[in-house]
Structure 1
Amino acid sequence: MLRRFAGASVIISTLDQVLPQPDQLCGPFSASVALTAVLDEDAPDVTALAVASGSAIWPVEVASARPPGSPRLTDGWDGLPRAASTDTAGTTAAGLAEGIATATDHRVAVIPIRGPGAERLRLLLARLADAQFRFSLLANVHTAELTEFDWNVGHFVTVWGFDQAEDGVAIADTYRELGDPNMPPGCRTVSTDAFASAMSERGLLMIVESDDHDAALALTRSLDLRHDVWSV
């Protein structure tokens, strides 16, 4: 049975209202959705998070950066710097982690979890389902591992549940086209093995209220997880 994390309902509801993401801003977009599970009010919007995270935009149309059939949106681009190349466009994990803390006036803390691997990922998600603190979980993935069509980019999604029996991870993606018709808009489940593989050179960003930082860090350390930030 799929166990929803404590903040799943607000994540799902918010996602339905804001889909799809602006082009090249999957990190700030997913963070803005994820933060609604941790902050009662005044969660920063995509543009505020993009500015705080140092996001940069490649202004030329690159259709392959989006899933087939998805719309191109440029909302919020006016206030962002231009990238020197397509390779430097978007938002780094380190920038996003810092930007989340900055844009929320440090009301939240971000704990990076680098490439947990399938077994530790299962343990982490099972433990988080019973966590006594509020949290949200961003995953930085490589899309080629998670889609059946030709889409090959770095990407951020929000994790909102875990099905131990079916060994599946529930994610909120950034385009309606990526959702399962039998699930809320933009949402689907992926196998734990595939999800872990998609994060093999990347990882997770756990967002918690600042007062819960020590408890969340203790949980991750009990699973012997790495806490350095990746650079791809």
Structure 2
Amino acid sequence: MLRRFPGAGAIVSALDRGLPQPDQLCGPFSASVALTAVMGDDAPGVTALAVASGSAIWPVEVESARPPGTPRITDGWDALPRAASIDAAGTTAAGLAEGIETATDHRVAVVPIMGPGADRLRLLRVRLADAHFRFGLVANVHTAELTEFDWNVGHFVTVLGFDPDEDAVAIADTYRELGDPDMPPGCRTVSTDDFALAMSERGLLLIIDSQDHQAAVGLVRSLELRHGMWTV
């Protein structure tokens, strides 16, 4: 049975209104969706977060950068710089963390958690489900571990909750086509082991109200998780 995190309802509503992501802006898109769990309707939009995060765009069409059959959307591109190459396009995790704090006037803080591994991820999700503060959770993953088709890129998704019986994590992805028909648009579950593997060189961004920063850091450290930023 799926156990949703507090704030998942706001995330699902925001996801349904916002899908699909603008091309190459999965990070700002996922952050904007996740922020609704903390800020409600005051959450900044995708373009504002992309600008604050230093996102850059590669303007040439690259179909392999998207899942097969998904649309190319260029909303917000006119506000962003061009990348020197396709590999330099998009948003880094460090840039996104800084952009979230900047775009929210530091009302919100970000706690980065490096590659938690499956066992620590299981502990973290239970503790978060019982947390006494509002939060959003964005995961930086590699898609090769999470899809059955040929799509191999770095990607950001929002975490909604988990299913302890199926040992699975519920995620809100950035395209309707990636969702399970039995779940809200864009949402599906993936095995905890696969999800942890997809984050092995990356990690999680725990988004909380700035007043709850110390409580969130304390939770992360109590589980002996690596509190730090990755560079992939």
TM-score normalised over the length of structure 2: 0.99
Alignment of 1:118-133 (within 5 A): 118-133=118-133
Q: CA RMSD in A?
A: 0.6
Alpha-carbon offset, residue 41 of structure 1: 3.3
Alignment of 1:3-152 (within 5 A): 3-152=3-152
Q: 1:167 maps to which residue?
A: 167
Q: 1:193 maps to which residue?
A: 193
Alpha-carbon offset, residue 5 of structure 1: 0.4
Report the AA paired with residue 137 of structure 1.
Answer: L
Alignment of 1:176-191 (within 5 A): 176-191=176-191
> Could you tell me whether the CA contact under 8 Å between 2:10 and 2:40 is conserved in 1?
no
Paired residue secondary structure (1:39): helix
Aligned length: 232
Deviations along 1:68-127, one digit per CA (max 9) or x if unpaired, are 000000000001000000110000000000000000000000000000000000000011
Q: 1:215 maps to which residue?
A: 215
Q: Any gaps of 5 or more consecutive residues in structure 1?
A: none
Paired residue secondary structure (1:157): strand
> Could you tell me whether the CA contact under 8 Å between 2:2 and 2:162 is conserved in 1?
yes
> Could you tell me whether the CA contact under 8 Å between 2:93 and 2:140 is conserved in 1?
yes
> Could you tell me whether the CA contact under 8 Å between 1:126 and 1:164 is conserved in 2?
no
Distance in 2, Cα, partners of 1:14 & 1:94: 24
Alpha-carbon offset, residue 2 of structure 1: 1.1
Distance in 1, Cα, partners of 2:195 & 2:107: 29
Identity of aligned residues (%): 81
Distance in 2, Cα, partners of 1:46 & 1:12: 16
The worse-fitting range, judged by mean Cα deviation, of 187-196 and 33-42 is 33-42
Q: Any gaps of 5 or more consecutive residues in structure 2?
A: none
Distance in 1, Cα, partners of 2:40 & 2:19: 21
Distance in 2, Cα, partners of 1:42 & 1:222: 31
